[in-house]
Structure 1
Amino acid sequence: MRAALTAALALAGVLHAAEPWQDARRSPDARAAALLARMTTEEKFRLIHSEFGEPEPSRGWTKPAGALGSAGYIPANPRLGIPALQESDAGLGVANPLEIRPGDGATSLPAGLAVAASFDPDLAQAGGAMIGGEAHAKGFNVLLAGGVNLQREPRNGRNFEYAGEDPLLAGRIVGAAIRGIQSAHVLSTVKHYALNDQETARNTIDVRIGEQAARESDLLAFELAIEHGQPGAVMCAYNKVNGDWACENDFLLNRVLKGDWRYPGFVMSDWGAGHSAAKAANAGLDQESAAEAFDAQVFFDAPLKAAIAAGEVAPARLDDMVRRILRSLFAVGVFDHPARPAPIDVAASMAVARRAEEAGAVLLRNEHDLLPLAQPASIAVIGAHADKGVLAGGGSSLVTPRGGNAVPGLQPTAWPGPVTYHPSAPLAAIRALAGQARVDFDPGTDPAAAAALAARAQVAVVFVQQWAAESIDAADLTLPDQQDALVEAVAHANPRTVVVLETNSPVAMPWLDRVGAVLAAWYPGSAGGEAIANLLFGKVDPSGRLPITWPRALAQLPRPVLEGAAPGSPPPTAVNYDIEGADVGYRWFQRQRLEPLFPFGYGLSYTRFEHEATKVRIVDGVPQVAVRVRNVGTRAGADVMQVYAQTPDSPVRRLAGFAKVSLAPGEARTLTVALEPRLLAHFDVASRRWVRSAGDFALFVGHSATDLAAPVHVTLPAQTLDP
């Protein structure tokens, strides 16, 4: 009876301080070591591979007993009080396909690009805390979140999960989101490590790139995200990097992550990214994910046992794998704060999602101050199921909406679908703010009918969309379903046309010069309809700035043709990222002297800001840039002060610091930004250190990567940065 009670208390997460690992006053390392010492070999092996948590009858998969029903599951260990690991995908919210409470669903943030476009780490952290809180209240304690892959490829179907093209912005935003998730005592990953920058041939492609270029771009984004967020786990990617699979890549896992960065957590494989036992274990993989469903076999069971018995893997390596997993669980609070069902404040979650969309939508065009709408007499709302909801991206990050899919039945209905709309209808939100104005809707399927409605309205608001998803890339940037013809027809009928983009990434806009305003809403999330209406009517100021460069044409890209993306085209075996190297996005455009359609950092406001009196001082060898920002317009708004640095080694400017500030009309405030030292240096492969060259550094303050004031010059001595 006593043993049964002890087991029940352990499963419930009730810890008694009789055992040293149950003492929360001890460090995570000490607790992990104490628990590891009590584990049998079989108990250790049970912790290093998870099961797939979802049933799939067509493929013979059943939901494991005890699993909540999501991405992954490892059973509890009642003898030692180790809680079950309940894992859910969570790029934008708790992606819980089986819905622990039927019909409940979860709250989805807008696209990761929208959160990045806010240039606001505090907002990203609040979003992460919301997701972590909902996960904890659903019983999940591990979230597969933290996507920080850089946007090298604007046609990548998974860009909406990530945080743009710049390593500093992406690393800080994603790090803050991870910090928010883990504040709820839910372990977060950072993913997909590394250079998983396209979906085409993602399971086979070999990414070719030199070490210095990788360290100064994609790997720097991961390095910063890990420093700022301290994620409990790193998820390694599907692709190869310079010939080796990412999940058995000694350079990525042992040399860089665990060696140079001294990462104390564990590495888990992506679902289907495991390829070996001995090689993967020796290269640094600590946990194999859902292997029985996705890998060729469960490598981290019998094959790894055999490898250890044969002397191919040291027994100490198994202990290191388990120690790292336990340490992360202790560090995040998974043991001490067990996840169990609890009420969710849905209104508070929705408010977080709405604020994220309001801060991340980017106003790209606003001719003659068409926006904000000033109580027009009549409005035509057209297209993109705006009468029902807002579009979401597809794949493992898809969050099941509360209330269900607002537009069910659209193809594809199977993976990576179903195509899903969150039931936050822009039409209803616009009507709620339009006062006495007449607001009519047209589905946009017939351009002539839509144009006729637009001609009768004072203002036309056209919603256009581009569904994208994990596992597929677009072949080009063209809007599907003849939507360009729709916009052309509406704009011809009514020059006071506003276009709202619900898209994964940049799209071609051949009609741009003929419309009055364009708002990039990305995938707007659970409260997207209300947020879009608030922006259109000026209840909030659009303060998003582009986290990506918007090209004029595919010919401007390092790889104008994305091999394998077009239907029927053969998949590529490799991709060459040494073409642009570390100069991703706006840095490539500078290097090639190309003019984008819209530059990185760009975004309009309903007010105007001036930057005054730039001053630089050196503190502990690092420049700090102080700028007085003034709102010289007539409305309250928010500005993003961006600082770009040009080093003596390079002709290319890099974002080295940024800050966002909200100001009332006429208000001014001085912002001080300490520049990121690695953006003032280069990575020296021989010494494996960041090295700053001596010489003249030009520091540019401005509103985007191309809208910059005259530089301030500082002379800095050579410096090798501490590891």
Structure 2
Amino acid sequence: MSFKLVLAAALLGGVAPAALSAQSASRAAARPMAAAPWRNTALPAADRARALVRAMTRAEKLRYVHGLFPPMTRERHADMIPSAGYVPGVPRLGIPTLRESDASLGVANQVEQRKGDTATALPASLATAASFDPAIAFAGGAMIGAEARAKTFNVLLAGGVNLTRDAWNGRNFEYLGEDPLLSGMMAAESIRGVQTNGIVSTVKHFALNAQETGRTILDARIDEKALRESDLLAFRIAIDGGRPGSVMCAYNKVGGDWACENRFLLTDVLRGEWGYPGFVMSDWGGVHSTEKAARAGLDQESGQELDKTIYFDAPLADAIAAGRVPAARLDEMVTRILTGVIASGLYDRPTPATAQPIDYTAHADVAQRAAEAGIVLLKNDADVLPFARTAKRIVLIGGHADVGVLSGGGSSQVRSVGGAPIEIPLTEGAAASFARVTYHASSPLRAIRAIAPNADVRYVDGRDPVAAAAAARDADIAIVFATQWQTEAQDAPSLSLPDGQDALIAAVAKANRKSVVVLETGGPVLMPWVDDIAGIVQAWYPGQRGGEAIARVLFGAVDASGRLPLSFPRAVAQLPRPQPVLPAGMTSLSDAASNTGSGDAAPPAYPVDYREGANVGYRWYAQRGERALFPFGYGLSYTRFRFADIRFTGGARPGASVAVTNTGSRAGVAVPQLYATGPDGTPLRLAGFRRIALAPGQTMRVELAADPRILARWTAGQGWAVTPGRYRLALATDATREVAASDVDVAGVVVAPH
């Protein structure tokens, strides 16, 4: 969701909760609750939900299909605190009040609505994806869910799975990269982790919320087959594996219809084909109608004060009374909400009424492990890394590395434990009302001094490249911390590092051949200095203990083990869209971001054509015969691995098997990857992967099965099927570096009929 309209939107009047009729209340009080079928945990969640709906009044049903936005609502409830959303429950039936929080990277508290309330901040979702480890994603989700429950929240607006189609998308850091299998699997595990706490997780934003420029007005256009084989496939994998209680629809249009009133997405695909039983909630300010949205499949209007009117209260009641929306549709809406509530465990395990203690130290360990597993070593000339702990003079340059590490902005912003040593309000732009440039209090300088106690470790702010070069020249080791802040609601104006940092890095590299760059960015950046620098480390936004994680990787306390979940381009000309497409008549990103068609004016036409179709990221490069600067799946290690005795199999269960040996003297992590190219000749696809930790000299046999959902193709009128024929399977260390490959005959199989 977004808080970008908090300061700009007009304060709309709330609607007082409807009172239960005396007659209905009397009947409910007389009914023994123990005998109520909705209490029977042996029944399927949907059956229990239907029983609850039969016991509810019309007013209670209507109250549960639209939610308040606490910072703006005029309604007041004793248990409502500043947060993303609040939906009053039905206490007489045990139906819980829904208390919603943003939670992509932790329990969010963007501009400190709740004074003094802090939480554990995970690293950027791209770091979690870079671990290529579903267990890391599960642990992060479980940690966030535990903190949310302890803070009395029970619905988390997490589970971002939108594919990275454009490197400059301001929200890429919240998502999981460019590949549907990796993104879907990691999102599924994060969602599962959240919901082990008996609370609801969403998966979002359904679908094609691929840029922030003009996100509330753009119309995403793509061929249906391509959409199904890319973004929708990622959502399908996440939903199948994670079973989220809710799906959040997106701001944008898809094929001419708003995502939150798009019958193709919400009913034909999500419910009809996928059989999804939970509920669809809107994004905050993402509803545009009553009748069309209800009929299309939207179940709950979120943050009602951010919409032009409250569509799912009186207007919905009037539409039902007039027969324009069937009463049965309202029952279905509430049934789906309650199915998500029951299936997630929330109904049977209500969240506590008051805040509970949290083991923040243990949770910070979870965040640190995720950061360490996701840091990617991009370059390591002459094994400059890991640094020897015998170094005498070390200089850290730039990036505010003396006090903390950068975090991304927007609704995912966590007020982390330890406070914010730097917090810079925005003076302009679409994110100004709800985002600040914020650092977590995890100082790389302090962490490096702790890990190298005998060295003279100094910090130079990097504002003066000449002074920075002089400091680097006098040091054994020079580390430049380069940053690029990105945020929800705004796309990056450029893929170049801002504020003259390219010139700073060039000056330092010239002064000291052992210089290393640590990148704290929300995605790829251009590297004009790539050939001049000895080492490059991609640290993303590293979270609660990012300074400690960076230090441990730089000094080899842990292996550099991350692998890129998205491609880094050599130049913007390689990208499908070198910069955001702007609506007709607009000349800047800020114009597009601020024009939402507010008031009575219709939004401008804003088509965005995704010409790459299903060939997102590394598949786009492969289709065009180009090489990225650093490809998907790429990442170096501090040790060496041998891949031997490789066997490929076809038939009904295609895949590969390999014996992986750590031939080095350090413990390390290997990530063998399986890519498949089908008989249709389309570019290769990641079909399987595995992260394994090996001690020096250790050998492990790894089996990689090709996921049939990746081998399958969708055909209109027929559905999903693996076409029988000759497939090329490749065992690789990234999308461009094969260890071995073989053609195998694969049996045909129907994966999902239409």
Which one-letter code corresponds to 1:717 in the other structure?
Answer: A
Q: Is the counterpart of residue 539 in structure 1 residue 569 in structure 2?
A: no
Which residue of structure 2 aligns with residue 192 of structure 1? 205
- In the aligned structure 2, how far is the partner of 1:346 from the partner of 1:593? 48
Q: SS of the counterpart of 1:52? A: coil
Does residue 500 in structure 1 map to residue 532 in structure 2?
no
Shift in Å, 1:101? 7.6
- Contact kept? 2:398, 2:482, Cα under 8 Å: yes
User: Gapped runs of 5+ residues in structure 2?
Assistant: 1-24, 594-603
**Aligned with residue 344 of structure 2, among 310, 332, 336:** 332
Give yes or no for contact 2:657–2:703 (8 Å, CA) kept in 1.
Answer: yes
- Is residue 436 from structure 1 mapped to residue 454 from structure 2 by the alignment? yes
Alignment of 1:174-323 (within 5 A): 174-291=187-304, 293-323=305-335
Deviation at 1:577, TM superposition (A): 4.0
Provide the residue aligned with 1:167 in structure 2.
Answer: 180
Kept in 1: contact 2:650–2:744 (CA 8 A): no
Q: Can you list the C-alpha shifts for 1:48-68, whole angstroms capped at 9, x where unaligned?
A: 000002x25xxx867654212
Say if 2:697 is the partner of 1:685. Answer: no
**1:39 and 2:53 aligned:** no
Per-residue deviation at 1:718? 2.9
The aligned counterpart of 1:396 is: 411
Secondary structure of the 2:729 match is: strand
| Structure 1 residues 573 and 604, CA gap change in structure 2 (3 angstroms) | farther
- C-alpha distance in 1 between matches for 2:77 and 2:398: 43
Percent identity over paired residues: 54
Letter in 2 for 1:367: D
User: Compared with structure 1, are the counterparts of its residues 18 and 412 closer, same or farther at alpha carbon in structure 2 (3 Å cutoff)?
Assistant: farther
**Corresponding residue of 1:17:** 34
The answer to whether the 8 Å contact 1:100/1:138 transfers is: no
Correspondence for 2:632: 600
Aligned to 1:4: none
Task: Give deviations 1:555-594, integer Å, cap 9, x for gaps.
Answer: 0011123223845666784444441110000000000001
Please point out which of 357, 379, 386 is paired with 2:401: 386
1:130 corresponds to 2:143:
yes
Residue 3 of structure 1 is matched in structure 2 by: none
Distance (Å, rounded) in 2 between the aligned partners of 1:98 and 1:187:
24
Query: SS state of the match for residue 560, structure 1?
Result: coil
Shift of 1:672: 1.0
Aligned to 2:745: 715
| In 2, Cα distance between equivalents of 1:431 and 1:206 | 51
The alignment partner of 2:436 has SS state of coil
Equivalent residue number for residue 700 of structure 2: 669
CA distance in 2, matches of 1:28, 1:694: 38
Q: Deviations over 1:229-253 (max 9, x none)?
A: 0000000000000000000000000
| Distance in 2 between residues matched to 1:219 and 1:86, nearest whole Å | 28
Q: Deviations over 1:365-403 (max 9, x none)?
A: 011111101021110011111111111100001001223
Output the CA distance in 2 between the equivalents of 1:62 and 1:153.
40
RMSD (CA atoms): 1.9
- Corresponding position of 1:642: 673
Aligned match of 2:685:
654
Do the aligned partners of residues 167 and 643 (structure 1) sit closer, same or farther apart at CA in structure 2, a change above 3 Å counting?
same
Q: Which amino acid aligns with 2:415?
A: T
**Across the two proteins, how many residue pairs are aligned to each other?**
704
Q: Distance in 1 between matches of 2:49 and 2:497?
A: 52
Q: Distance in 2 between matches of 1:127 and 1:568?
A: 34
Residues in 1 aligned to 2:396 and 2:280: alpha-carbon distance in whole angstroms: 48
Distance in 2 (CA, whole Å) between partners of 1:134 and 1:568 is 36
Structure 1 residue aligned with 2:733, among 703, 706, 709?
703
Question: Normalised by the size of structure 1, how large is the TM-score?
Answer: 0.95
The Cα shift of 1:104 comes to: 3.8
Shift of 1:100: 9.3
Q: How far 1:608 moved relative to its partner?
A: 1.1
Q: Tell me the distance in 2 between the aligned counterparts of 1:593 and 1:211.
A: 25
Distance 2:331 2:736 in 1: 52
Are positions 1:529 and 2:542 aligned together? no
2:646–2:656 CA contact under 8 A, matched in 1: yes
CA distance in 1, matches of 2:676, 2:527: 31
Give 1:87's aligned residue: 100
What letter is aligned with 1:143? Answer: L
SS at match of 1:514: coil
Change (3 A) 1:97 1:480: closer
Q: How far apart are 1:486 and its partner, in Å?
A: 1.0
Aligned partner letter, 1:44: K
Q: What corresponds to 1:468 in structure 2? A: 486
User: Which residue is equivalent to 1:140?
Assistant: 153
Distance 1:416 1:553 in 2: 32
Deviation larger for 535-544 or 78-87: 78-87
- Is residue 100 of structure 2 the alignment partner of residue 103 of structure 1? no
**Match of residue 405, structure 1, among 420, 423, 429:** 420
Is the CA contact 2:46–2:277 (under 8 Å) kept in the aligned structure 1? no
Aligned: 1:353 with 2:353? no
Go from structure 1 to structure 2 and tell me whether the alpha carbon gap of 1:608 and 1:574 turns closer, same or farther (over 3 Å shift): farther
State the SS of the aligned residue for 1:152: coil
1:369 maps to 2:383: yes
Cα 1:567–1:198 change in 2 (3 A) is closer
Larger CA deviation: 509-518 vs 247-256: 509-518
What displacement does 1:660 show? 0.7
Q: Which moved more, 1:629-638 or 1:145-154?
A: 629-638
Aligned residue type for 2:672: M
Residues 83, 113 of structure 2: 8 Å contact kept: no
Can you list the C-alpha shifts for 1:13-57, whole angstroms capped at 9, x where unaligned?
Answer: xx963422123333212221211110000000111000002x25x
Moved more, 96-105 or 665-674: 96-105
Which whole-Å CA distance do the structure 2 matches of 1:25 and 1:486 have between them? 64
67-76 or 209-218: which moved more?
Answer: 67-76
Q: Is the 8 A contact 2:375 2:561 kept in 1?
A: yes
State the Cα distance separating 1:103 from its structure 2 match: 2.5
Matched, 1:632 2:663: yes
Q: Is the 8 A contact 1:638 1:663 kept in 2?
A: yes
Equivalent-residue separation in structure 1 for 2:208 and 2:152 (angstroms): 32
Task: Give the whole-Å Cα distance in 2 for the aligned partners of 1:99 and 1:472.
Answer: 21
Mark the CA change 1:642 to 1:379 in structure 2 (over 3 Å): closer, same or farther.
same
CA apart distance, 1:678: 2.1
CA distance in 1, matches of 2:33, 2:665: 61
Scaled by the length of structure 2, the TM-score of the pair is 0.91
Deviation at 1:709, TM superposition (A): 2.6
Q: Where does structure 1 lack aligned partners over 5 or more consecutive residues?
A: 1-6
Match of 1:520 in 2: 538
Whether contact under 8 Å (2:249, 2:281) holds in the other structure is yes
1:277-326 Cα distance to aligned partner (Å, 9 max, x none): 110000000000011x2111110011111111222211111000000111
Q: Does 1:455 align with 2:455?
A: no
Q: Structure 2 CA distance, aligned partners of 1:455 and 1:601?
A: 34
> What is the CA-CA distance between 1:717 and the residue it aligns to?
3.1
Q: Tell me whether 93-102 or 293-302 shows the greater mean CA deviation.
A: 93-102
Q: Distance in 1 between matches of 2:491 and 2:534?
A: 30
Q: Matched residue of 2:480: which SS?
A: strand
**Would the aligned equivalents of 1:213 and 1:578 in 2 still touch at CA under 8 Å?**
no
Q: Is the 8 A contact 2:214 2:592 kept in 1?
A: no
SS in structure 2 of the partner of residue 449 of structure 1:
helix
Q: Look up the match of 1:344.
A: 358
Whole-Å Cα distance in 2 between the matches of residues 685 and 360 of structure 1?
39
Mapped contact 1:476–1:554 kept (Cα < 8 A): no
Q: Distance in 2 between matches of 1:567 and 1:576?
A: 14
